[in-house]
Chain A
Amino acid sequence: NAGVTQTPKFQVLKTGQSMTLQCAQDMNHEYMSWYRQDPGMGLRLIHYSVGAGITDQGEVPNGYNVSRSTTEDFPLRLLSAAPSQTSVYFCASSYRGPSGANVLTFGAGSRLTVL
């Protein structure tokens, strides 16, 4: 199992450009999510999905779009990049374990710089 695979690891964009961060998991997890990590702040939820065809907004969704056409893939699209979107992005997948709580696996992260 590869776990959660995120690409690219690093990306530099100019303001106004668009791009997609890819996230794929091979564990058949139903729940997938995108977070951003900024200095001095905890991880913040951008968007999440509880299964194929279902997505919802998290805490900081503005400027980002997601789709979940398959269980495996959950891409994050930046529509028109802004310097405020400079951050490290993490994709995670999870499933409900026997205790009812979600068992987490994170991707390696994608460092995005918007100039």
Chain B
Amino acid sequence: KNEVEQSPQNLTAQEGEFITINCSYSVGISALHWLQQHPGGGIVSLFMLSSGKKKHGRLIATINIQEKHSSLHITASHPRDSAVYICAASSHENEKLTFGTGTRLTIIP
């Protein structure tokens, strides 16, 4: 069993819809990262959070440390948001990351 689980694996939505991607982890963490990977593209760090909530434009990330759960929300989704979204947990003890398998998001115009 992967220590970091994401859901759903695939998500298709209409332009304008509110999107939620979930991430659960079983390890003790110092931070939770949300990453974005466009098809054939590199990986971009969207958020790093260790508590509470962060917002950047239409993207919002939240984390509940007690429940070991994080969510990534996209408001007013747009076709350019189509990408794979990956969560990754930073270990308390060292710099190592444990990655989820990603959520493939497709936004239809």
Does the CB pair A101–B2 fall under 8 Å? no
B99: chain A residues at CB < 8 Å are: 35, 42-44
Inter-chain contact B95/A94, CB cutoff 8 Å: yes
In the complex, which residues of chain A have a beta carbon less than 8 angstroms from the beta carbon of B90? 101-102
Q: Is the CB of A43 within 8 A of B48?
A: no
Mark out the residues of chain A between 59 and 115 whose CB falls within 8 Å of any chain B CB in the assembled complex: 90, 92, 94, 96-97, 99-109
Q: Which residues of A contact B94 (CB under 8 A)?
A: 50
Residue B75 interfacial (CB < 8 Å): no
Residue ID in chain B nearest A49 by CB atoms:
B95
Residues of B close to A99: CB separation below 8 A: 30-31, 48, 50
Say whether A41 contacts B96, CB under 8 Å: no
Least Cβ–Cβ distance between A42 and chain B, in angstroms: 4
In the assembled complex, the CB of A24 is this many whole angstroms from the nearest CB of chain B, namely 15
Chain A residues with Cβ under 8 A from B45's Cβ? 103-106
Q: What is the total of A-B residue contacts with beta carbons within 8 Å?
A: 69
Number of interface residues of B (CB under 8 A): 25
A40 on the B face (CB < 8 A): yes
CB distance from A28 to the nearest CB of B (A): 15
Tell me which of A41, A90, A92 contacts B101 (CB under 8 A).
A41
Which size bracket describes the interface of A in this complex?
Answer: 20 to 34
With A and B bound together, what is the CA distance between A40 and B2 in angstroms?
12
Q: Which residues of B contact A34 (CB under 8 A)?
A: none
Q: Which of B44-84 contact A (CB under 8 A)?
A: 44-45, 48, 50
What residues of chain B have their CB less than 8 Å away from a CB belonging to chain A? 2, 4, 30-31, 33, 35, 41-45, 48, 50, 86, 88, 90, 94-102
